[in-house]
Amino acid sequence: MLDYDLADEIAADTPARLKALGDPLRQLLLDLVLERAMSVTELADRVRRPKSSVAHHVDLLVEVGLLQVVRTRKVRALEERFYGRTARTIAYPSATYDGDLPFFADARAVADMEAMAAAVPSGFTMRSVRIPEDVAGQFLQRVLDLSLEFSRMPRGGTREFALLVGMFPTTRPVAPTAKEAAHGA
């Protein structure tokens, strides 16, 4: 459970937001604060980058409206800021699709993506969460069951829809739990 409030969705609808999201470090910073709000110091420790570099990226994400200060605390004479996302989901408008999605490169799927401009149900999402392996296995089974249900749908309509699903472990660093952070882990 997050330790701050955020909206359900924000659109990546400006060139500045799209550019900000094009940097892998900024994407990682956005993912890390989905577990809990973090300071620049905590983020820098987690991603093993200089604090000044992380602060630059955090400032840029705040400027484009993807991160926000969710609370502050006094540390000696300074005010430490804790950052969180402005929304749980970042929606990419289909008009910005340029043929280079990070999670697949199937030629047929890319051609089908170009048809998404029509006002029909379509979309993509990629989420990363820290969960136990047994829970991941249970969730994967539910997703696979849902994909089988999708493939068994009665045929009809004038358009074919495809379902693309993948679940895999990542090598990215995770945010420490509040308990770990309190003990300096």
CATH of the domain at 175: 1.10.10.10
pTM of the model: 0.63
Q: Residue 79 domain-assigned?
A: yes
**Residue span of the structural domain in which 45 resides:** 7-128+170-182
Q: Residue 152 domain-assigned?
A: no
**Tokens linked to 68:** 């926000």
Q: Residue 14 domain-assigned?
A: yes
The SS3 call for residue 91 is: strand
CA–CA dist 34, 105 (Å, integer): 27
Domain count along the chain = 1
Neighbours of 146 (CB within 10 A): 12
Q: Which ranges in 86-182 belong to alpha helices (H)?
A: 107-113, 133-151, 178-182
Report the chain's C-alpha Rg in angstroms: 19
Q: What is the pLDDT along the chain (185 residues), one digit of tens a residue?
A: 688 888 888 888 888 898 898 888 999 999 889 888 999 999 999 999 999 999 999 999 999 999 999 999 988 888 999 999 999 888 776 544 444 444 444 445 555 555 555 566 766 666 777 788 999 999 989 988 898 888 888 888 887 777 777 777 877 777 666 677 677 65
Cβ distance 54 to 83 under 8 Å? no
